Structure 1
Amino acid sequence: MTRIFFRALNAASLLCILTAPFAYAQGEDLPGPASTWLSNRAYTQQDLYDVPSSDTPYKIESQKRETSEGQRLYRDRYNPPENDLERTFQDEKPQVPPSVLEEMYSRRADEKLEQFGYDLFTARDAGKDDKNAATPPMGAVQDAFVLGIGDEVQITFTGQRTDQQNYKINSEGLLIIADLPPLPAAGRTMGDVRSEIDSAIASLHNTRAYIALTSVRQIGVLVVGQVHKPGRQNLTVFHSVLDALNASGGIKKTGTMREIRLVRQGRTQIIDLYDLLLHGTGRADSQLRDGDRIIVQSIGPTVAVTGDIKHPGIFEVRQNKYAGPKNIETLSLNDMLSLSGGILAPGQNRFIHLALDTKGRENASEINDTKARIFSDGSILSVKKAQERRAGMVELVGNTRRPGVHDLTHNRNLSTLLDSPDVLGPDIYPLIGIIERWNPETFSRIYLDFSVRSVSERTMDIALQESDRIILLGKTEIANLNQEDKPEPEKIEKIGYAQVSDKEYRLYAQENKTIRKYLINRTATLTGEVMNPGLYPVSGSVTLDQVLAVAGGMTRAADPSALEITAAAATHHNEDAPARAIYDLSVTPPENIPVRPGDSIRIASLTRPAELRTVVIRGEVTNPGPYDILPGDRISDLLNRAGGLTQQAYPKGAIFSRESQRKAEKLRFRASAQDMKRALASAIEREKNPPDARQIEMVRELARELEDITPLGRITVEADPHALNINPELDMLLEPGDRLYIPRRPLTVRVDGEVLSPASLQFRKDKEPRDYIREAGGFTYNADKDRAFVIFPDGSAQPLKVSLWRHSADMIPPGSTIIVPRDPKPFDFIESAKDVSQILSNLAITAIFIDDIRD
C-alpha cells in the first residue's frame, strides 16, 4: 500500500514538472502587481520566462536590463559583491611595498623588478574566508573517489522501490540504508559502493539505484612557515595544496615557491609552484588529506633577468636542480631565458652577465656561450636588443596617406614612390621635400631636397638608396617654423598658411631640430601685397607661380608690374653683393621666374593704404565716441567731426591723455615701486633704528599701489575751437590712442586727498582755499598741509599756503581741484627712495582724474 502511495505521489510531481513551463507560457495572465513589479525593475515578462527554473534570485537579478541610474543602484543593492562582475573589475589592485630582494635587484638593474609568481596570492580574496573559493563538486564524481567517515551521499531508487534519501557514513564507516544490510563505505571508492548497492537490490524487480555525493567530510591541514596566516586550515578533501596556501594568506616574499614540503604520514613530497606557473604541470593541484602538513621554507637562491625580455623579474633557483660539480646551483643562459619566457623578438641581442664579487663590486661580462653555467645566486642577466637595420627598404613619413616602409625593389626612384596624388596627404606642402640618407663615407646623415610638385609632374626625379627616409612636409609645419631661426635682416611677423592639418600626420619639422634648421636655411621670403606673406622653404627647382599659389596669391592692391626679387646668389663681379631684379609679370610670366633659397620677393602696392588709427573723445560734444584718424589730423578736426561743443561745454577744463605718456608714467610708477622695495630691504637690514611692522606694511602697500594704478598720461592742450582758430600753432596733432575729455561747465571746486570728506563744493568768488578745505571736513591726521596744491581746469598746478601761520587768499576758479597729499614723514626711514612727497602727489592726481577719461 505504501509503495502504491509513493508511486502516485511521484506521478503527480512529474505531471506538475511537465506542465510547469506551459503554465508560465501564459504571459498575459500574470497578475497586475507582478507585472508592475517586474517593469519597475527593468524586467519584461519574457525575461522571467527565459530564466531556467534552477536559477537563484541573484542570477535572475543579474539578467535585468539597466535603463536608469536608479536601476543600477537597485542591482548593486541586491547583488552580492563577490558576484558583481562590474565591481570586481573596478577594484584596484592592492599596493604591495617592494621586498628587500626587489629593492636590491631593482637598484642594481636600474629597472623595477618584482619577484616572480607571488602575485598568484595577491588577488582580492587571498587569505579571506570565501565560501565560493574551491567549492567541492557535489553530485556525480569519479568512481575512483574514496569515501570516508562523514561523507554524505544521496541514493535514489527507481522501479519496484521508489524513494530518495540522504545517508551519511557513520563513525564505523558503514552506510546504513533502509531495507538493505549495512554496507562498509569508508575507505572504499565510489564505484565499489555503487556496485555493492546494485548487488543488494538485485532481488527487487526492475529496480535501479543512483548514488550522488551531497557533502564531503572536513579535513584539517596544518600550514606553517613563510605564509601570512600560518596555522590549521579547515578544508575539504577536494581542496588542493594551492587552496591551502591561498587560505593561509599566500606565501610571503621571503618564502620559497620551489621547495614547498607536503608531509603526509611521515613521507615528504616537494611542491614546485614554478612547474604550475611556467608549464601548467606539477603537484600544486594535489588533493589534500586529513592531517597533511604543508611547510613553506625560506626562499632559496635567486637570480634576475632584465631588459628586452618577455617577463623581466626575480626568479628563485631550485636547489640541487641546477647543481654544478661543487654542488653549487648554477644556470646557463638558456636556463635564464627559459625562466623569463625568452627574448622579445628574434635578431641580434646582447646578453650581459652582472655579478657581485667578494668585495661588493659589480662586474659585467658579455655572454657568447649559451650553455655555460655561470649564473648563480645574485646574478643578473641583462638582455639588450641591437638596433634593427632594415635592408632593401625605404621609409615614407610625414604628410602622406601611405606612411611606413616600402620595398626598394619596386621603388627605385622617387617618382615611382610618389606615383599618384593619393600618396600625398591633405595638407601637403608642395615646394620642398627631404630625403634623409646615411653616408657611409662620412658616417653621418645627409639631407637632399626636392620639389614635391616637380616629382609628381615627372619633371625631376632622384634615385633612392637603401634605408632612405623620404619626409613629406605639411603646411602647418611650415607655418610653425621657429621665429628665432629666421634669417636676418628680414623679421617677418607672420608666417604663411598657418592651417590646421590632420593630426595623424606627424610633424617631423618640429620634432627634428636638424630638419628644421635645414628648412630655415632654404627659405624664400615673400612680402608685400600677397595673401599670406612669410617664409617659404623651397627646393632648387621652384618657380614663382608655385610659391604664389602656396601663399594664396596676390591681393587686389598688388602691382604686377613692380615685382622685386633680391637674390642671395653672388654675382661674378662681387661675390658678396646680392643680385636684384624687377619683373613685370605681364611681360615675364611667373612660371618663367625661378625662386631659389635665400631669395627675397617683394610685391609692391598700387596705392598707399590708409592707416586706420583710433582716438576717443568724451564729454560735452555732440557725438562722443571713438574716431578713426589719418596722419595729420588735429584736435580741431576731431572736435569738428564730433559735432562741436555743446552749450554746457567747458573747454578750459579739457583733459587730454596720450598713450605714450601713459606708458611712460606706468614705467615711472613701476620704477618708483622697485626703488621703494629696495630701500625697504636696506632699511630692514640696518642694525640701528630698523622700521617697525607698521612702517614696513605702509611701504609695501604704497609699492603695490604704484604697481597697480592706471596712469593718466595728461598733457595740457587747448580745446577751445575759437582759440584754435586764432592760434593754430596750439592745435596739437593727434596720435593713435589719444583720449580727450570735455567736461561740463562747472560751478564747483573739487577738494580731494587727505581731507575728512572729499567733495565737490559750490564755487564763490570770496572763498579762500582753506575755506574749501574747511567745508570738506578739514585735514586728516595723515595730511601734508604744507604741500597742498591746486590744479586749475587747464591742468596747470600751483602750490597753496593753507596752514594756520601762513595762507594765501588766491581766488580758485570753478572747475579747479584742491589736493591735499599724504604726509611723507612716516616714510622718512627710506633714505635711498625717490622723493616720496612727489610720488604721493602723483598718485593723488592720477586717482582723481582717471575716472574722467575712462571709457
Structure 2
Amino acid sequence: MTSPLRSAFAFTARRWTGLLSMLLLAAVLQEPALAQAIPGISNDQLPTSGGPVRLSQPLSQKKNGEKDRSGKDGSRSDRRDADQDWVKPVYKPSEFELFVRQLAGITKVQGERLDDEGRDALRRFGADLVTGRNFDTEAATEGASLVPDDYLLGPGDEVMINLWGSVEANLRLEIDRSGRIAIPRVGMVSLTGVRYADLRQVISQRVAAQFRNFDLSVALGQVRAVRIYVTGFVQKPGALSVSGLSTVLHALMAAGGPTGVGSYRSIQLRRGGQLVSNFDLYDLLLRGDRSGDRVLRNDDVVHVAAVGAQIGVIGSVNKPAVFELKGNETIADALAMAGGLSAVANRNTAVVHRLDERVGQALRDVDLKKDLSQPIGNGDVLRVASVADMARPALRQSKRVRVEGEVQRPGDYLLPAGSSLRDALNAAGGLTLEAFLYGAEFTRETVRVSQIENYDRALRDLEAELTRASVTQKEKVVAPSDSTVARGTEQSRLLDRLRSVQPTGRVVLQFGPADAQLPELSIEDGDRLYVPAKPSAVNVYGSVFNSGSYLFTAGRSLEQYLGMAGGATRSADKGSVFVVRANGSVVSNLARAGWNFGGGRVEALQALPGDTIFVPEDMFRVGDRQDLKDWSQILYQFGLGALALKNLK
C-alpha cells in the first residue's frame, strides 16, 4: 500500500476509534452500571455530575414478583387458600358455663360453633375472639407500619431500601446467616441485633461513605420465622413456627385458644427462663389496651395458666356472659364488664345466685343503688331483671323456688312463669338414690299465712269452749274434785303448748307411695320443696306406755306398732287415734267412721315408712259426747305434722 493510502486509512481509523470512545463514555454517563464491563474504568473515575448513579438488584437476591423462600409468591394467596380450608372450631362450654346457661333459661345451643351457629349463645367473655376467625392467627409478614420500633433484625429478614438523589436504587436484600446484607458498590452491612427504629440510620451511614447528596427510606419485606412454644391450658400445645412479627396473642390463636379451663387473664410470656410479661386479654377486650401483647422472639414460651374465679352476668345487661375475675371485684365491676345495664333493665334491684356448701344454691337480693360496692365471688351469678318483666302480671313473672333435701343440686331457683313442681325438681338435677318422694314436703307462703290465721281462731274458739265447759262443770258440783282441778290445769298447759306451735304452710300432695312423679302443681313465688331420705321407722306418740320410733318392717299394721309401744293407756281416747302419713295426709278413726261411726278403724291399716301414729288423751270430753273441736283434729287440720305431735305428746 502506497504511503498516501496508508496515511488516509490510519486517519480514518483514528476518527472511528475516537467516535466510538465518545459514544461509550456517553453511555456510561447514562448507565453507570456499564462501567463494570469497561476495562480500566474504576468506580472513582465515574462522573457524578452528569446524572445519578443507579444501583441494580443483586442477582442472588429475590426480586419483586419472584417466589419467596417457601416457594410461595408475595401476594399472600397461600394464606387465602389456608382461609378457604379453615374449619370452624367446635366450642366446648365448661361446666360452669352450662350452669349459667341453665339459670339463664338456655337449655340447648344448636351446633356450638362460633360463627353462624349458636351466635347468641351465652359463653365466656372473649371466646369469640380467641377461638373464632375474627382475629388473624398469622401476623403480617410484610409492611413497615406493622413493625414495632423495638423489633430486632436477624437472619432471614428481608430489608427493602429505596435510594434517590445522587444515587438511585430499589433493593430487596435478605439478611444472610452471618447477619449481613450486601449493598452494591457499598459493601457488607451487619444488621443482626439492630432495632428496627435504628435501621435507617445504620444503612444511611454506610451509604454515605460512598455517596453524597442522597436520601433513602427503609422497610421490612418478608419477615423471618421464629420457633416458639405454647404450653398450659390451650387446645393445641406444642412448638410452633410463626412470623417474627407475631405477638403473644397471635401465638395463642395459632394454638387454638385456651381450653374451657384455661385463663384469659393470665397468659405468661417467658424468655430465657424469666417471666417477661403477664398478658391480660381483658385489657384488650374492655379497654383496647394491647401494651402487654409483646412481640415474640425465638425460643419464647407462651404459657396459659388455669382459669381463675368465674362469675356469670345474665338478664338485662348489654353483654351477658361468663367472666373471669382477678380478685376483689365488686358488683359494680361485674356490671361494667357486662357493658352496663340495658335500656330496659330494672335499675333498682338484682339477684345474686350464690353457691353455698351448706344449702347448695342460694339467692340474695341486691340493691343496685346501695350494694354496688359489695364483693362478688367465685361461682356467683348476677341476674338483672327487666322493667318489662317486673311490669308483667304476677302469673307471668318468674318464680323463686327453694328445693332442698335429697336432690342433686339443692338451692334457690328462678323458674319461668307457668312452671310446675316437676320443673322445680328437674332444675335441681332430679332425685338422689336415697330420696323418698312420697315424703316430699311442699310448703307455700300464702297457705302458711292462711293457716296461721285460722289456727289462731281455732285455738281461741277451743279455749272459749273449754272455759264454758269448765263453768258448767263447776255449776253442777259444789266442791270440785282434785281430778277436775288437775284436768283444768293440764288443759291450760296444753293450750300454751298448742300456741307455741305454728303452721308451716304445708300443702298435702295427693299421690301414692309407689308414684315416681310429683303431681302437676303450678308453683308460686316463695314455694319450698323438701325431699327427705327414705325413713326407716314408724313413730308412735301420745297416750301410750312407751312412745318412740320403731324400725319399719313391710307388711306390719299400725296396730302392731301400737302394740310395740305398749298399747294405749287408761286415759287414752282410743276412738280418736289418727296417723299422719309421710306425705302429710291424715287418716283418723273419726274420719273413717264418719258421723255414723260405721267405718273401719285406723289401727287395721298397713303401716308405711315415715308414719306417725298418735293416741290423744281423753281430757276434753264434755258429758257424753266428744267435743267437735278436739285438739287432735286441730293438729292435723292445720298441717302441724309429726314434729308438732312429738313436741305435744
**Which structure would you say has the larger Rg?**
1
Structure with larger RCO (C-alpha < 8 A, sep 6+): 2
TM range, smaller chain = 0.3 to 0.5
TM-score, normalising length from structure 2? 0.42
